[in-house]
Structure 1
Amino acid sequence: MSLPPGFLDELRNRVSLSAVVGRKVTWDMRKSNMAKGDWWAPCPFHQEKSASFHVDDRKGFYYCFGCHAKGDALSFVKDSENLSFIEAVAVLAAEAGMQMPDRDPRAAEKADRRTELIQVLEEAVKWFRLQLKTQGAAAARGYLTKRGLSEEAQERWEIGFAPDQRQALIQALTGKGIAADLVVEAGLAARADDGSLYDRFRGRIIFPIRDGRGRAISFGGRAMDPNARAKYLNGPETGIFDKGRNLFNHGPAREAAGKGQRLVVAEGYMDVIALSEAGFRAAVAPLGTAVTEDQLRLMWRIADEPVIALDGDAAGIRAALRVVDLALPLLEAGKGLRFALLPEGMDPDDLIRARGREAMQEVLDGAQPMVRLLWNRETEGRVFDSPERKAALDKTLRQALMRIADPSIRAHYGEEIRELRWELFRTGRRPARAGAARVWQPGGRGKFAPPPVPTEGTRNSALAGAAPETIGDALREAVILATLLRFPTLIATFESALERIEFSTEDHERLRNLVLTHGHGEDCAELVARDSALALDRVLNNPHVRISPALQPRADATFAAACLEEALARLQADRAHRTELAEAEEDLAHLADEGLTWRLSKAAEARVSASRGPKEQKSESIIAPNGVELDREELDRARRLLDSIDFSRGSSPRRE
């Protein structure tokens, strides 16, 4: 029924939330503050001893820090007393002394029709249950016993049987005065081409399907005949049943999840029953279809991270991957999925009967995050032995990540994919992760160390996390990032080079991931700023970055591309030079080799060549015998190393 404008607001103003909730809970007076309208109690929606249920009387809202139940007075009455919304409104209106508005005749008629259909289905539940106890259901009882279901379990799940007769259910229900049209509308019967009616479920074990409030809304049936056209058959969609918006075992699973159990999503009725009977009571299943968007949102209302435990065969894997594609655009902070990989050819029911509850628990404990399944789908069984194949993998993964709407989640997925990519290809050093900047230690063979604590004056600098030896690197990194953000059309050109850089600060690492994640659109800088404004400000406000030629007002994309080429070349040469010197120090400690002279001179030659423009001359340099201009400081360091060696005896260099 429709309510007049302002009716609900007036109702909420007239009732006290603490008074409404107080009928169901015992307040913890040590934790509550009545003067401020701050009330605490054990949650009425799940079993607990601590007072984690909070009521803010002034704002009119409640929240449980255990099961995350939340709402106002109306939702509390609705959920705690298992009422419909209008029924909850009527209860509170009577308490507040407000007259309920007249019901819309059409809405009232529709609600009454739904109530009639539910009553018809409840009668069918009773009839199916009785049929399971008859002589004609002996084979069905034997099958259930073979599947490990005791009579008590069959009673708990209200399992029934539909005899293989054309009109047995129709005659039973119409004999109780139920109109034949209601039986058809409830999905229990269908009309043949000649207009006659026949039972929809025949020769099948019957599983009642109930909604979140425990009301019967449809049935599912498993055929006893192995040659039946469909092994499992669900009722058709009706005025009270939408198979894409409901879950099997929804109500009990929600209650169990509220008490702390892990929500497990299986494939069929028997899997859910087997899981629940083994102690995994927060188990649900879709209703004969692939998981839908509405069902996924319904799962997230029950638990933040459901575990998808589909069959371990090829069909189960395909179903899991379809769930991945469905979930990517819907991901939110704190809402995710994990995937339990069952042994090949087994479903949860098979695993529990064959190996026991502990085996299923082990599988659930080893459930993988969704990013791993996404990675496995694109890499398992494939060989990446060429740049083209690696580039194709990068493109596919990037397209998948771009489907994630939440920018923060997209960035974290990008970091995880980069880590997995490094583990697969093992090229270069391991990429740095956010929160643990990796810095170069001379002579350390690329070992990682914690970033230095910033001193006063560098605390807000983008270089605060860089080692002293890499300040120049960090400046070039900042210029590269700032240039790409000003000219996002260049990201595609320099994408591969950008992925290979091992950034020297956490800020630069985070910004690089965001630049790659947000793509090449004109709004790239805006999206990066929204995700990591502080890191971006530290880069752009650096005076060395502001005076960079590529960032001046008159610079265009062509000039910026040339600047990026030069900056990348210098960065690569400087790092290669330091690496060569560090490795030479270690080599000299073990073996004297005159070839080291050539290695060091070539490293210095490459560095000077990259760091000097065509018209640029360095004052602190000398000319080597071969005509190459060398940096004096680096050459002096190399000479000191070489002078300390007695080549005739092969002694180690003296330590300075």
Structure 2
Amino acid sequence: MSLPPGFLEELRTRTSLSGVVGRKVIWDPRKSNPGRGDMWAPCPFHEEKTASFHVDDRKGFYYCFGCQAKGDAISFLRETENMEFMEAVRALASDAGMTVPENSPQERERAERRNTLTDVMEEAVRFFRRQLSGGGAAAARAYLERRGLDPAALESFEIGFAPNGRQVLQQHLAGKGISFDQMAAAGLARSPQDGRGSPYDVFRDRIIFPIRDPRGRCIAFGGRAMAADAQAKYLNSPDTDLFDKSRTLYNHGPARTASGKDHPLVVAEGYMDVIALCRAGFEGAVAPLGTAVTEHHLQMLWRMSPEPILALDGDTAGVRAAMRVIDRALPLLEAGRGLRFCLLPQGKDPDDLIRAQGRDAMQTALDSARPMIDLLWRRETEGKSFDSPDRRATLDARLQQLVGQIPDKTVQHHYRTALRDLQWQAFRPPRKTRAAFKADPKPVPSSSTRNSLLAGSDGRTEIALREAVILATVISTPEALDEVADTLAEMSFTGPDHQRILDAVLMWHMRQENDLRAQVLGAVGPQCLEKLFTQGHVAVAPAVRAPGNLEIAEMCLSEELTKLQSRAGLAHEMREAVESPQAIPADRLAWRLAKASEARNQADRSTLDDRTEYDTGANGAKLNRDEKEAFGKLLDRISFSKPKRG
């Protein structure tokens, strides 16, 4: 079937080609520029390793420099999904919130009417512009001058004036051959609802701001009342065939261009804020029109920038607006999409701040914009008391419910982790005042630990056993957590079920509810806990054999953590040497490996008397099987890479 004229053009305007293509490809971050809608990826139509497939999101076309495939969103779906033309159109229309029209005479008439309405709107723009220089607009010109708008700004933003007459615009448009029905369809005139009296102009005695779509077509107007007793200070055009306020942003087209040039994308609340921001050099400024930021607005913003900044008034209304945006954004978040919030000083909007303190003050405010998770935490905790376990549990359940709305599991995981850290910082108990915790105690090893499982284990097993000793120690003596909780919170355990146990331990320390062992038991189950404590190396550990002895527990934790950290350092050096052997000079590589091995040796001194079958290096560092093999390979590389002399 054929479609009415203009429908496909509107569909392409509302569709993000990069969003459609992005379901099939992985973008090359080195070549792609999301702000400019300039995206590159390996071609989905032929096998290749280089990113020769180019998507121009603004023009809505793709092209492969390898196989010469080209087209738009419709052709992409047809090629990759094997869809028929109308099937692809319906799929895209569904995503864009559009209804595919039937090719009826009524639809053809509607498409023609849309084209006519754009001509009507442009004639109205010219009329309002001329009126601003007339005698009846003296007060409007004075107001604009007080707001700091010079003739260049008035010209750039096409600001005009609607005279205070009931039918002034109607008479002008009628003289151009435009009917009242066309004026009404464009949102410029209307008849009284009660049917009494004559039709009237929608905009009267107002400063006029033309509203254009991304393609530059005037689709609506905004008007600022000059009369103090006007019903509405700001008035926008009603929704028409051209204008849908939930899908429109003021200054969209110029802001998209500026964002593509690496200007920050700033979302303000009104026309004057956008104009002030643009004149101060923040050209990537937009504003919603008479409505809160909608889901459609967010999608449009993310097409221009991965992390728009919402610059909201610092009053209560501004904060409430920010909170509403958070609720709309959570179900839409995915990797590469975020929001930052710039809360301005109390009672200030961007226009006020720039006129009072200048561009630098606005730049400082934007630089200090906070990520969305900070405001989410503030909303859920500010002014509330969490002095009891049930209140903290209620907060935890609420946060989990909110984060659960995020569809992207990776983003959801990072939000959960960040909120857990915020809870930890807010609710962890104050540390007890005790003698300074020694960083490197040297307890005498117990004879019962000789020839333990550590002797003869590979690196992974040894790390898992040391993790087990740490966990068993803090469960046996919970008071020892006060000194090491921060360190443990930054670690990731790798042994079987160890991370689950660690999470339960840290959650208990944050809440201080019930008994620690009971908390862990409820989180991981009796079999997991029994397995932890029945390991031979754990059962003979002094801190486990003397539960509640804080001094022994702290010494044990210090020793085990030091050993884990020294092994992590050695592993890092060895991994870097293997992955980038040519990037590090041979002598420097040997020195770094020796120092890391020496640190490991220093950490192991308390157990060096426990001889094993493994070799001891020249510096005395004891190596397990994995380390010995890897170290030998690295020494071979170092020897091989030394330049020959003479």
TM range (shorter): 0.5 to 0.7
Tell me the secondary structure at the aligned position of residue 318 of structure 1: helix
Shift of 1:565: 7.1
SS at match of 1:340: strand
User: Are the aligned partners of 2:170 and 2:189 in contact in 1 as well (CA < 8 Å)?
Assistant: yes
8 Å CA contact retained: 1:67, 1:258: no
Q: Secondary structure at the match of 1:471?
A: helix
- Once residues 410 and 349 of structure 2 are traced to their aligned partners in structure 1, the CA distance between those partners, rounded to angstroms, is 35
> Where do residues 82-481 of structure 1 align in structure 2 (5 Å cutoff)?
105-192=105-192, 193-194=194-195, 196-427=198-429, 443=441, 466=464, 469-472=466-469
Q: How does 1:68-83 map to 2 (within 5 A)?
A: 71-72=62-63, 73-75=70-72
Is contact 1:443-1:583 (8 Å) kept?
A: no
Residues 75 and 213 of structure 1: CA distance in aligned 2, closer, same or farther (over 3 Å): farther
- Say if 2:338 and 2:372, in contact at 8 Å, map to a contact too: yes
Taking a change above 3 Å as real, the CA distance of residues 464 and 282 of structure 1, as seen in their structure-2 partners, is farther
Cα distance in 2 for partners of 1:134, 1:185 equals 28
Q: How is 1:495-644 mapped onto 2 (pairs within 5 angstroms)?
A: 505-507=492-494, 561-563=525-527, 574=544, 580-581=551-552, 583=554
The CA deviation string for residues 322-351 of structure 1, in whole angstroms up to 9 with x for no partner, is 000110111011101011121111001101
**Matched letter for residue 492 of structure 2:** T
**Structure 1 residue 381: Cα displacement:** 2.4
The letter of the residue matching 2:246 is: G
Letter in 2 for 1:194: G
Cα distance in structure 2, aligned partners of 1:263 and 1:301:
11
Q: Distance in 1 between matches of 2:133 and 2:292?
A: 33
Q: Which amino acid is 2:362 matched to?
A: M
Label 1:405 to 1:53 Cα distance change in 2 as closer, same or farther (>3 A): closer
SS in 2 for 1:63: strand
What is the CA–CA distance in structure 2 between the aligned matches of 1:217 and 1:428, rounded to whole Å? 60
AA aligned opposite 2:145: T
Counterparts of 2:462 and 2:302 in 1: how far apart (Å)? Answer: 40
Q: Which amino acid aligns with 2:217?
A: R
Contact 1:67/1:260 (8 A) holds in 2: no
The DSSP-based 3-state class of the residue aligned with 1:220 is strand
- 1:63 to partner: Cα distance: 2.8
**Structure 1 residues 503 and 576, CA gap change in structure 2 (3 angstroms):** farther
Question: 1:419: how far off?
Answer: 1.3
Decide whether the 8 Å contact of 2:312 with 2:319 is kept in 1. Answer: yes
- AA paired with 1:110? R
One-letter code aligned to 1:211 = D
Q: Which has the higher contact order (CA 8 A, sep 6+)?
A: 2
Aligned-pair CA distance for 1:470? 2.9
Per the alignment, do residues 46 and 242 of structure 1 end up closer, same or farther by CA in structure 2, a change over 3 Å counting?
closer
Classify the secondary structure of the residue corresponding to 2:239.
coil
Secondary structure of residue in 2 paired with 1:209:
strand
Q: Equivalent of 2:54, from 63, 86, 104?
A: 63
| 1:226 Cα offset (Å) | 1.5
SS at match of 2:231: coil
Q: State the Cα deviation string for residues 224-274 of structure 1 (Å, max 9, x = none).
A: 112111111111001111000111111001111111111100011111111
Give the Cα–Cα distance (whole angstroms) in 2 for the partners of residues 387 and 220 of structure 1: 52
Q: Deviations for 1:479-537, whole angstroms, at most 9, x for unmatched residues?
A: xxxxxxxxxxxxxxxxxxx9999696345687689999xxxxxxxxxxxxxxxxxxxxx
Q: What displacement does 1:378 show?
A: 1.5
The count of aligned residue pairs is: 450
Q: Distance in 1 between matches of 2:532 and 2:367?
A: 45
The code of the aligned residue for 1:118 comes to: T
- Contact 1:118/1:216, CA 8 A, preserved across alignment: yes
Measured at CA, do residues 581 and 318 of structure 1 come closer, stay the same or move farther in structure 2, by a change above 3 Å? same
Q: Tell me how far apart the structure 1 counterparts of residues 551 and 130 of structure 2 sit (CA, whole Å).
A: 84
> What SS does the corresponding residue of 1:354 show, helix, strand or coil?
helix
Kindly state the Cα deviation for residue 581 of structure 1 after the two structures are TM-superposed: 1.1
The whole-number CA distance in structure 1 between the counterparts of 2:147 and 2:56 is 39
Other structure's SS at 1:118 match: helix
State how far apart, in whole Å, the 2-side matches of 1:274 and 1:256 are: 15
Q: Distance in 2 between the 1:339 and 1:168 partners?
A: 43
Q: By how many angstroms is 1:184 displaced?
A: 0.4
Is the partner of 1:280 in helix, strand or coil? coil
Give the Cα separation in 2 of the matches to 1:471 and 1:411.
25
Using the size of structure 2 for normalisation, the TM-score is: 0.60
Distance 1:500 1:46, change over 3 A: closer
Name the amino acid aligned to 1:157.
F
Deviations 1:116-165 (A, max 9, x none): 01110110000000111011101111111111110110110000111111
Question: Quick one: structure 1 residues 455 and 310, their matched pair in 2 at CA, closer, same or farther if it must change by over 3 Å?
Answer: farther
| Change in CA separation of 1:418 and 1:391 when aligned onto 2, cut-off 3 Å | same
Helix, strand or coil at the partner of 1:244: helix
What is the identity, as a one-letter code, of the residue corresponding to 1:505? S
Query: Alignment partner of 1:334: what SS?
Result: coil
DSSP 3-state at the match of 1:233: strand
State the match for 1:629 in structure 2. none
CA contact (8 A) 2:246 2:297 kept: yes
Please tell me the residue identity of whatever aligns with 1:287. L
Structure 1 position 395, deviation (Å):
2.0
Task: Rate the CA distance shift 1:145–1:511 in 2: closer, same or farther, 3 A.
Answer: farther
- Quote the Cα distance in structure 2 between the aligned partners of 1:144 and 1:163: 16
Taking structure 1 as reference, are residues 188 and 510 closer, same or farther at Cα in structure 2, changes over 3 Å only? farther
Contact 2:255-2:284 at 8 Å conserved across structures: yes
1:186: how far off? 0.4
Q: Contact between 2:473 and 2:553, CA under 8 Å: does it hold in 1?
A: no
Equivalent position SS for 1:339: strand
Q: How far apart, in 2, do the equivalents of 1:456 and 1:337 lie?
A: 52
Distance 2:140 2:155 in 1: 14
Q: Give CA deviations for 1:307-326 in whole Å, capped at 9, x if unaligned.
A: 01111110000000000011
Alpha-carbon distance in structure 2 between the residues aligned to 1:347 and 1:340: 11
For 1:384 and 1:107, the matched residues in 2 are separated by 59
How far the C-alpha of 1:418 sits from its partner, in A, is 1.3
Alignment CA distance shift 1:219-1:3 (3 Å): closer
Ranges in structure 1 where 5+ consecutive residues have no aligned partner: 9-39, 79-84, 90-102, 430-439, 445-453, 478-497, 517-556, 588-636, 638-656
| Cα RMSD (Å) | 4.8
Matched residue SS, 1:129: helix
Aligned to 2:449: none
> How far 1:389 sits from its partner (Å)?
2.5
Structure 1 423/476 Cα, relative in aligned 2: closer, same or farther at 3 Å?
closer
Contact 2:277 2:351 in 1 (8 A): yes
Structure 1: which amino acid aligns with 2:129? R
Correspondence for 2:574: none
How many Å separate the matches in 2 of 1:512 and 1:119? 69
How far apart, in 1, do the equivalents of 2:39 and 2:421 lie? 39
Amino acid in the other structure paired with 1:256: A
Q: Label 1:503 to 1:320 Cα distance change in 2 as closer, same or farther (>3 A).
A: closer
Q: Secondary structure at the match of 2:245?
A: coil
Unaligned 5+ runs, structure 2: 9-29, 64-69, 76-84, 90-102, 432-437, 443-453, 475-484, 506-520, 559-605, 607-646
Offset at 1:275? 0.5
Distance in 1 separating the partners of 2:227 and 2:498? 61
Kindly tell me: are residues 310 and 464 of structure 1, through their superposed partners in 2, closer, same or farther at Cα, counting changes over 3 Å? farther
Give the deviation of 1:385 after TM superposition: 2.3
Q: CA deviation at 1:113?
A: 1.0
- Residue 345 of structure 1 aligns to a residue in which SS? coil
> Could you tell me which residue of structure 2 aligns to residue 432 of structure 1?
none
Shift of 1:54: 8.0
- What letter corresponds to residue 468 of structure 2 in structure 1? I
Q: Distance in 2 between matches of 1:307 and 1:227?
A: 34
What is the DSSP-based 3-state SS (H/G/I as helix, E as strand, rest coil) of the residue aligned with 2:110? helix
